[in-house]
Amino acid sequence: MKRKIYLITLLLICFVPSLSFSQSLGLTINPTSIVFPDADPDTTPSISAPSVVIVSVSVSGIPANQTWRLIHRSNGNLQSGTQTIAITNVTWTATPQPPFRNGTMRTTNQTAGSGTGNISVNGNFQYFLRNQWTYRPGNYTASTTFTLSSP
Amino acid sequence: MREKRMTSKNTLLTIFLFILLSSSFSFAQTIRPFDVGATINARAKLTINSTTITFPDANPGTVPNIAASENPVSVTSSARSNFTVDLTVLASGDLISGSDTIPITNITWTRTGTGYRNGTMNRTTPQLAGRWTGSGSRNGTFSYFLVNSWSYAKGSYTATAIYTLTAP
């Protein structure tokens, strides 16, 4: 009996985990920060971030029909002391589409990419800030995250 | 024998738990931080849609105040500031035609638009034409009037006035 149990255990260790533990999700962001430069709202109504952000996604070890999702989310508005700029004034365009998507920064989960099965792809994310005269002078910052998950 | 059976049951239970746990590992996620910043500097921009105004000739008896032909003149005062934003106007001198003069204080204006103010031109002290707090783009109009008088010598008079928008 004991032998049988050991045999079953051995088989399970060999096969069951091999299906799940080999799943691998890779995510790199480069650069890890952007700063929108100051500009005249009349001549530059939308400020482009100085560089394109490369979002590298790699998913391996999942079945062909299993989904993966890239979530982009801000922890809050752009903040400079007590002054704020609504984070929804920040938008992005992404290529290639699919698997990546254009979007607007929010404090709720925004899908920036999704797909099924294994993939290794680089996304080019270009960020924009809607420029308005109503913004108060300051150096504003906001913390955001990219989350890659499956399923 | 009973103890052995119990041990076997426990082992089986452990295996099932292991299977259950290992299946839960199939959910995975990776999180990466990404910081967003923006630099907003103080700035001011003033737009006046007519940089020249002209008062036509008129009978002082029937037109005591001559309206400028360009009235109303549109003005936009845009500023980014954490403080008070002022729009002032200062004339460089009186209206001059050769050796003849008309005091610049004979020109007044009325305004529309929040924050803009009515006033009288002055050649020595800047006159407040608008005041706001903080950032924003403010639209308004100015309508200019010249006090008409029989005492004016005939001629074509000119003067220059400078508007200054300050956003500290």
d(CA A70, CA A122): 12
Q: Are A141 and B78 an interchain contact pair (Cβ–Cβ within 8 Å)?
A: no
Q: How confident is the model at residue B83 (pLDDT cuts 50, 70, 90)?
A: very high
Q: How far is A148 from chain B (nearest CA, A)?
A: 5
Contacts of A145 in chain B (CB under 8 A): 31-34
Contacts of A52 in chain B (CB under 8 A): none
Side-chain-side CA neighbours of A90 within 13 Å: the count stands at 30
Rounded to an integer, the average pLDDT of B12-34 is: 61
User: What six digits make up the tokens of A116?
Assistant: 């099924």
Q: Are B36 and A90 an interchain contact pair (Cβ–Cβ within 8 Å)?
A: yes
d(CA A116, CA B162): 65
Rounded to an integer, the average pLDDT of B84-91 is: 98
pLDDT at site A62: 87
Q: How far is A122 from chain B (nearest CA, A)?
A: 15
Do residues B121 and B105 lie in contact, with contact meaning Cβ atoms separated by under 8 Å? yes
ipTM of the complex: 0.84
Say whether A45 sits in a helix, a strand or coil. coil
Domain range annotation of chain A: 24-149
B11 shares contact with chain A (CB less than 8 Å): yes
Q: Render the burial of A94-129: b for 16+ CB within 10 Å, e for the rest.
A: beeeebbbebebeeeebebbebbebeeeebebbbbb
A137 shares contact with chain B (CB less than 8 Å): yes
Structural element, H or E, at residue A79: strand A78-80
pLDDT at site A19: 43
What is the dotted CATH code of the domain comprising B43-51+60-166? 2.60.40
Do residues A103 and A88 lie in contact, with contact meaning Cβ atoms separated by under 8 Å? no
Closest CA to A62 of B27, B22, B21: B27
C-alpha triplet B7, B10, B15: angle, nearest 5°: 130
Tell which CATH architecture fits domain A24-149: Sandwich (2.60)
Contacts of B18 in chain A (CB under 8 A): 12
A-chain residue closest to B134, CA distance? A136
In B91-150, the residues whose Cβ lies within 8 Å of chain A are 134-137
pLDDT at site A151: 81
Calculate the average pLDDT of chain B.
89
Region of poorest pLDDT, from A14-23, B27-36, B43-52: A14-23
Residues of chain A where predicted confidence (pLDDT) is lower than 50: 7, 9-21
A-chain residue closest to B29, CA distance? A149
d(CA B163, CA B116): 13
Q: How confident is the model at residue B7 (pLDDT cuts 50, 70, 90)?
A: low
Q: Are A32 and B34 an interchain contact pair (Cβ–Cβ within 8 Å)?
A: yes
pLDDT at site B25: 45
A52 shares contact with chain B (CB less than 8 Å): no
B162 shares contact with chain A (CB less than 8 Å): no
- Please write the tens of the pLDDT for every residue from B97-149: 999 999 999 999 999 999 999 999 999 999 999 999 999 999 999 999 999 99
| Cα→Cα distances A140→A34, A86, A100, B39, B118, Å | 11, 11, 27, 6, 37
B-chain residue closest to A57, CA distance? B30
B82 shares contact with chain A (CB less than 8 Å): yes
**Beta strand extents in B68-106 (DSSP E only):** 73-80, 84-91, 95-97, 100-102
